[in-house]
Structure formats: structure tokens, C-alpha cells
Amino acid sequence: MKNTFEGATPPPQESKEAKEKIGNKMLDNLASGFGGHSQLPDDVVGMAIMGQFNNGQLMYASVEDGVALVKEVANTIHERWEDVEDAPTLNEIFNKIVEGIKKQAESWKEDSRLQEFIDAVSNTK
């Protein structure tokens, strides 16, 4: 399985903290448009991540790093809900993000690099 996207700029070697900052910035920007983090649907987060892959603007060039980003973003969202009684589980949040990724890609012509990412993130537990 090829693990890099053709034509994508290789990412600089980044620390875990730098990668988390990218995910947090994306969440903060989206939340701003929705009026706050609690108003931001998880599937929209997935749509945004997929849009970044489609446009080649995501700082991550490998499928593994893309999956790691989805996991990190799901963890961040989950941590924000820790003190809420009926909060969604980490798995539910992750699955909603994956739904958004798939939804965003539905209308695009088939692209093997995008499909590889969709398959990898869909098969992550």
C-alpha cells in the first residue's frame, strides 16, 4: 500500500505538539463560523479534513499521518465534552468525523489517493 499522496508537498518533520496545534487551529476556525465548539457538528469537521486532503493543503502527506490527525481531532473534541453527562463517546465522535469525510468525497470524481485515505480511516478502530 502506497502511503504518500502523489503531488503533495512532503510535510516538514513536526513534533506531536505542532501537529496537535494544526488540528486545534482547524477546530477553532470552524467553531468560530458556527458560533462555538458546541455548535460545530463532528461530520462537518470530517468534511473540512477531507477538503484539505482534496486540495492538497493539509500539512500531512501520508495516509498514516492523516489517520493520526483524525484521531487527534476526535480526542480533542472528546476532551471538551468530558464533564458533560450524556456526552458522545470517543468512538461515536470518530465515526461522525469519518461520516463527514465520506460525505464530502461523494461528489468528487474517483481519486485513488483520496480513496486510500477514506479506506484507511474507515478501517481504523
Compare 109 and 37 and report the one with higher pLDDT.
Answer: 37
Q: Distance between CA 94 and CA 99 in Å, rounded? A: 9
Does residue 3 carry a pLDDT above 50? Answer: no
Does residue 70 carry a pLDDT above 80? Answer: yes
Domain ranges of the chain: 20-122
- Residue 7, sorted as left (phi over 0), alpha (psi -120 to 50) or beta, turns out to be left
Question: Poorest-confidence range of 10-19, 60-69, 79-88?
Answer: 10-19
- Residue 68, sorted as left (phi over 0), alpha (psi -120 to 50) or beta, turns out to be alpha
Model pLDDT, residue 63: 82
pTM of full prediction above 0.95: no
